[in-house]
Structure 1
C-alpha cells in the first residue's frame, strides 16, 4: 500500500464502491417507501461517528496507514451527508417544483430553497473537519473534504446554470422537485471556471506528489491527486457523451414503478 499507484487505484475503487453503496441504499429505500429513507440515515450515523473518530486519532500521525484512515474518515463524513440529501431527509424548506418562467434572482432563490438545508449541513461538515484537522500534522482528511465540498458546489452551480448532459437516472422520488431546478443546455461561464479550478488543484497535488520526501506524504498527495482528478472527471461527464451511469446500474435494483 506504499505505492502511489496503488493509492490512486484505492481512491478510485473507494469512490466507485462508496457511491454504489449509497445509491443502493437510496434505491432500496425508495422501493420500500414509508420511513425507509429516514431509517437509512439513522442507521448511517455510525459511519459519521467512525469518520469523526478517524480524523481525531490520525491528526498527529503521518504514517501511510494513518493517511489512508484519515482519507476514509473524511469520505465517511461526506458519504453520510450525501445520504441525507439523496434520501430526501435533509434538502431544503421548499418542496415545490421550480416556478415556471422564473429567471434571475427569483429562479436562484427557488433553487436555494430546494437545497438550503443540505448546503448548510455540508458547511457544518466542513466546519467539523476543519475543527478536527486544521493545524494537525496529518491533514489528508481536511483536504479530502475540502476538495469534495468545493467540487460539489461547482457541480450544483453548473447544473443550475446549464450543462448539455444531466444524469437523472439515480435521482430518487424524494428529490423529484430538485430535478426541476436543473437546466439542460449549452455550458455557461460556470463550467470553464470549475474545470480550470479543478485542473489547477489536480496539478498542484500532482506536483506535491512528485516532490514528496516521505512515504506518508507520497500516499497523501496520491490520494488527493486522484480524488481531485475524479471530481474533474465528474464535471466532464456533464458535457461528454460518456455512459457513466453504467458504472453502477448493474448493481442496483430496478427503480420503483411510476404510478399513473
Structure 2
C-alpha cells in the first residue's frame, strides 16, 4: 500500500518545494551570484552522478533516487535560465509590432540557449541510463520537457493568465513574448492530449506494474505529469501560482532594496537616517505581503478587462486594445 500512497506525496512535495526554492535563490541580490553558480554546478554534477549510479538498480530506493536526481538536474538548468545566464542570443524585449513568424523568430532567439541546454541534459540522461534497467529518471525528464514545451507554446499563443509575477528580474524581458488573451485553439488540444497520456500512464500503473519498483516509478512520473496538467489550468485562474510559490518571491523589504532607497534619499539631499513617508494616514493599512500584492494586481487586471469588454459590447467597438492587438502584452 505504501508503494501507492507515499510516491504521490513525495512527488507533489518535490514539485512544490523545488520550484519555490529556485525562485527564492534566483530572486536574491547580485551578491548571491556565486551561491547561485555553486548551487547550479553542484546540482548538475550530483544529479548526473546519481543517475549513473542508479542506472541498473531496480530497488524502490533507486526509483526515488533517479526521480529526485532528474528533478535536481532540471533545477540546475532552471537556475541558469531564470538567473539570465542561459537564455538566448537575443536577450531583449520583443519589438513593438512584431507579429506572426517574425515574432516567433524573436521568441526562439530569446530562449535558444535554454532549449539547447535542455536537449543536452536529456542526451546526458540517455547516455547515462542507456540499456539500464532503471529508466525512472529518463521518463521523468521526458514528462517535464513535454509539459514545459506545451506551457511555453500556450504562453506564446495567448492565455488569460500568464503568472508572470513569478518571473525573476533576470528574465523580465521574456514577459513581452507572452500573450494575455482569450484561450486559443491550442490550449484545449494540449490539455486533452496531456490528459490522455496521463490516463494511459494510470492504466499501465493499474494493469502492467507488478514489482514495487515499477509501481513506485510509474506513480512518481504519473503524479508529476498530473501536476504539470494542473499547472496548465493555472493559465485560466489568477490565484493558485502566486498562492503556492509566493514564499519563493523576493521580499520588497530586502536589505538591497533598503540600501537602494537610502542611496536615492542621499542623492535627493535627505539624510540616510531620515525615513520618508508618502501619503501617510493615521488609518493606513499595514504593508501587504508580495503574494497578496501580486494577487491584487491580477484581480485588478481581470476587473479592468471585464469592464473594457463590457464597454465595447455597449458601444459596438470591435477593435482590441493596443496592449494585445499584436499578440503581446505591454
TM-score by length of 1: 0.92
Residue 91 of structure 1 and its aligned partner are, at CA, apart by 0.4
Matched, 1:5 2:14: no
Deviation at 1:251, TM superposition (A): 5.1
Structure 1 distance, partners of 2:126, 2:221, is: 17
What's 2:194 paired with? 198
TM-score (norm 2): 0.73
Per-residue CA deviations over 1:74-108 (Å, capped at 9, x if unaligned) read 11111101111111110011122101111111000
The answer to whether the aligner puts 1:27 opposite 2:27 as a matched pair is: yes
Matched with 1:64 is 60
Runs of 5+ consecutive residues of structure 1 not aligned to the other structure: none
Shift of 1:42: 3.4
Instruction: Note the C-alpha offset of 1:246.
Output: 1.2
Q: Deviations over 1:107-147 (max 9, x none)?
A: 00111111111011011111111112242111000000011
Deviation at 1:240, TM superposition (A): 2.7
The residue aligned with 1:117 is: 113
Query: Which 10-residue stretch deviates more, 206-215 or 71-80?
Result: 206-215
* One of 42, 45, 50 as aligned partner of 2:38: 42
Question: Which of these two proteins has the greater Rg computed from alpha carbons?
Answer: 2
Segment drifting more, 238-247 vs 76-85: 238-247
Among residues 210, 228, 231, which one is paired with 2:228 in the alignment? 231
1:121-140 matched pairs, under 5 angstroms: 121-140=117-136
Tell me the CA shift for residue 38 of structure 1.
6.0
Q: What CA deviation, in whole Å up to 9, does each residue of 1:189-235 have, x standing for no partner?
A: 32122212211221122112112111111101110110000110000
* Structure 2: segments with no counterpart, 5+ residues: 265-330
Q: Distance in 2 between matches of 1:236 and 1:134?
A: 35
Counterpart of 2:18? 18
Q: Any idea what the Cα deviations from partners look like across 1:25-51, whole Å, max 9, x if unmatched?
A: 0111xxx226x4465133321111111
Alignment coverage as a number of residue pairs: 256
Higher alpha-carbon deviation: 161-170 or 235-244: 235-244
Residue 184 of structure 1: how far off its partner (Å): 0.4
Relative to 1, partners in 2 of residues 1:251 and 1:95: Cα closer, same or farther, differing over 3 Å?
closer
RMSD: 1.9
Give the secondary-structure state (helix, strand or coil) at the position aligned to 1:88: coil
2:89 to 93, 115, 137: 93
Is 2:39–2:76's contact at 8 Å kept on the other side of the alignment?
no
Whether 1:106 and 2:102 are equivalent positions in the alignment is yes
Match of 1:222 in 2: 219
